[in-house]
C-alpha cells in the first residue's frame, strides 16, 4: 500500500489552491483527512471549511497512483452535476483518468441508472429503458386519465383516489413482506393503505374494492413503466434496490471499486443511503464527506438526517482556510 506524503500534499496545493493558500491548519485536520486512505471514515466538516477542495486534493493524489495493483477503481458520488463540473474544471486535465473506466464519477442518480436500474430493466425486459425522466413521467401520470379506457369501472375509483388524495407522481412499486408486488408512495416504503377519499369507517370502500384498486394501480404503474417505457427517478431506485437484493451484483460492485467517496453526505436521502449500504460490502473503503448543519431542507423526516459516525474525522475551522496564513 502506498501512502500520501506531506510533499505530495504540498504539490497539490499549487494546483488547487489560489497562490499562497495551503491545506495546513492548526490541528493538521485536512492533512489527516487527505492522508487517510486505508479505512472507511466519515468526515464531518464545518460550513465553509473547504471540504470539497479537500476531497478533490485527495482524489487527485489517488488518481495519480492509478491504475491500482488490483485493477480496482474509484467511485465518486455527488448530488448535483454542478459539483462534478466544478471538479472536472479544476483537475480534469491533470488526472483525466479519474473520469474514465474503471472509475465512476457522477451523481447518485447516474450511478443507480447505470449500474443497477438499466441492467434491471434489461434483465426483465431484454431491452434498455427509453426514458428515466421525472418530468416526462409526471406528465404522463397527469395526462393519462384522458386516455380512453383507463377511466372506466374500477379505474374510475382508482383515478378518483389517485387524483384527490395522493401525491400521485410519487407512486411507485414495492414489495410487501411476502414478496408480493405492491404500490407505495415512498421509495422502498410500506405498501399503501387505500382509503376512499374523504371517507370515514362507515362509508369507506370494501376490502374487496380496495384490493381491486390496488391491483389496478399496479397494472397502471406497469403500463407507464413498460408500455410507455418511462420511469421516474423513484422507479429507478425501486428497480435498483430489487436488482441489488435479487442478484449477486453487490459482490461484483464491491470488487470493482476500492474507494467510494460521497460528497455532501448531508444531502443524501435515506433511499440513497440504502443503495450505498447494500451495493458495497465491508471490503470497500467508503468515505463520506458532509456537513450535518448544512442539510438542505428536504421532505425526509428529521430522524433521517445524516449524523457522522462517532469516530468521524473533522474539519472544524470555520474560517476560510488560507486566510489564517496572512
Partner 1 sequence: MYLSELKIWNFRKYGIRDGEQIRNDNPALIVKFNSGLNVLIGENDSGKSSIIDAIKHVLLTQSHEYLKFDDKDFFATNKSRAEQLKIECTFQGFKNSEAANFLEWIGFDEKGKYKLNVWLTAKRKNNRIIADVRAGLDDEGSPLDGEARDLLRVTYLKPLRDAEAELTPGYNSRFAQILRSDDLFVKKKNNQGEIEKHVLEKYVKQANDLIKDYFKSSQLKENSLLGITKNTKGAKHVQDSIIGFLKIFFEEGQDIKPFIEISGSDLTDILRKLSLNLEENKSGLGSLNLLFIAAELLLLQEGETGLKLALIEELEAHLHPQAQLRLIDYLQKEQKSRQFIITSHSTTLGSKINLKNLIICQGEDVYPMGKVYTQLDPNDYEFLQRFLDATKANLFFAKGVILVEGDAENLLIPVLADLIDRPLHRYGVSIVNVGSKALLRYAKIFKRLDRKSMNVRVSVVTDLDIQQKIDKSKNIEPKDKVNLDAEKSEKISSLEDTFNSNGLIKVFPSPRWTMEYDLAEGQLAPYINRAIHIAQLIKGRESNNRSCFKSLKKDDIIEKCKDADKYLANQRELRDDKSFLACKIYEKLYKHHASKAVTAQYLSHLLVNNPESDGEDETYKSKVKEIVLNDEQLSYLRDAIYHVTKPADSNV
Which one of 22-30, 119-127, 222-230, 267-275 is the stretch in contact with partner 1 (CB under 8 A)? 119-127
Q: Is residue 123 a contact residue for partner 1 (CB under 8 A)? A: yes
Which one of 120-128, 137-145, 158-166, 226-234 is the stretch in contact with partner 1 (CB under 8 A)? 120-128
Phi-psi region of 143 (alpha: psi -120 to 50; beta: other; left: phi over 0): alpha
Smaller CB separation from partner 1, 121 or 315: 121
DSSP characters over 81-104: HHHHHHHHHHHTTTTGGGGSTT-E
- Residue 69 to residues 39, 72, 314, Cα–Cα distance (Å): 17, 8, 30
User: Is residue 195 classed as helix, strand or coil in its secondary structure?
Assistant: coil
Smaller CB separation from partner 1, 5 or 153: 5
Q: Is residue 71 a contact residue for partner 1 (CB under 8 A)? A: yes
Q: Is residue 303 a contact residue for partner 1 (CB under 8 A)? A: no
- From residue 99 to residue 118, the character string flagging contacts with partner 1 as x (rule: CB under 8 A) and all else as - is -xxx-----------xx---
- Cell 452535476, residue? 81
- Binding partner 1 (rule: CB under 8 A), the pick from 20, 47, 149, 248 is 248
Range 2-61, binding partner 1 (CB under 8 A): 2-5, 7-8
324: number of CA atoms within 13 Å, CB side? 12
Range 207-246, binding partner 1 (CB under 8 A): 246
Please name the helix (run of DSSP H) or strand (run of DSSP E) that holds residue 258, with its range, or none. Answer: strand 257-262
Q: Give the torsion sign (CA, 220, 113, 133, 297).
A: positive
Phi-psi region of 255 (alpha: psi -120 to 50; beta: other; left: phi over 0): alpha
- From residue 256 to residue 275, the character string flagging contacts with partner 1 as x (rule: CB under 8 A) and all else as - is x-------------------
Q: Which residues bind partner 1 (CB under 8 A)?
A: 2-5, 7-8, 64-65, 69, 71-72, 100-102, 114-115, 119, 122-123, 126-128, 246-249, 251-256
Amino acid at each position: 500500500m502506498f501512502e500520501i506524503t506531506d510533499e505530495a500534499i504540498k504539490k497539490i496545493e499549487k494546483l488547487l489552491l489560489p497562490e499562497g493558500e495551503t491545506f495546513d491548519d492548526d490541528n493538521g485536520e485536512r492533512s489527516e483527512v487527505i492522508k487517510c486512505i486505508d479505512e472507511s471514515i466519515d468526515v464531518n466538516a464545518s460550513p465553509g471549511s473547504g471540504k470539497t477542495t479537500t476531497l478533490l486534493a485527495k482524489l487527485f493524489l489517488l488518481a495519480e497512483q492509478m491504475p491500482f495493483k488490483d485493477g480496482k477503481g474509484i467511485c465518486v458520488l455527488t448530488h448535483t452535476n454542478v459539483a462534478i463540473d466544478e471538479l472536472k474544471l479544476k483537475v480534469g486535465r491533470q488526472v483525466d483518468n479519474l473520469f474514465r473506466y474503471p472509475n465512476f464519477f457522477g451523481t447518485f442518480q447516474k450511478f443507480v441508472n447505470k449500474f443497477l436500474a438499466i441492467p434491471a430493466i434489461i434483465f426483465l425486459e431484454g431491452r434498455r429503458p427509453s426514458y428515466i425522466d421525472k418530468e416526462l413521467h409526471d406528465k404522463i401520470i397527469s395526462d393519462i386519465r384522458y386516455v380512453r379506457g383507463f377511466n372506466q369501472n374500477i379505474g374510475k375509483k382508482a383515478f378518483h383516489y389517485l387524483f384527490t388524495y395522493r401525491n400521485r407522481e410519487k407512486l411507485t412499486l414495492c414489495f410487501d413482506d411476502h414478496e408480493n408486488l405492491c404500490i407505495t408512495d415512498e421509495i422502498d416504503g410500506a405498501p399503501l393503505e387505500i382509503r376512499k377519499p374523504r371517507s370515514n369507517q362507515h362509508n369507506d370502500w370494501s376490502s374487496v374494492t380496495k384490493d381491486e384498486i390496488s391491483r389496478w394501480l399496479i397494472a397502471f404503474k406497469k403500463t407507464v413503466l413498460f408500455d410507455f417505457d418511462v420511469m421516474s427517478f423513484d422507479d429507478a431506485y425501486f428497480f435498483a434496490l430489487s436488482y441489488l437484493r435479487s442478484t449477486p451484483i453487490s459482490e461484483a460492485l464491491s470488487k470493482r471499486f476500492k474507494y467510494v467517496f460521497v460528497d455532501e453526505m448531508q444531502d443524501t436521502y435515506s433511499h440513497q443511503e440504502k443503495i450505498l449500504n447494500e451495493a458495497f460490502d465491508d471490503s470497500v473503503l467508503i468515505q463520506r464527506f458532509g456537513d450535518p448543519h448544512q442539510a438542505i431542507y428536504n421532505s425526509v423526516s428529521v430522524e433521517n438526517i445524516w449524523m457522522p459516525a462517532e469516530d468521524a474525522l473533522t474539519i472544524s475551522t470555520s474560517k476560510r482556510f488560507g486566510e489564517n496564513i496572512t
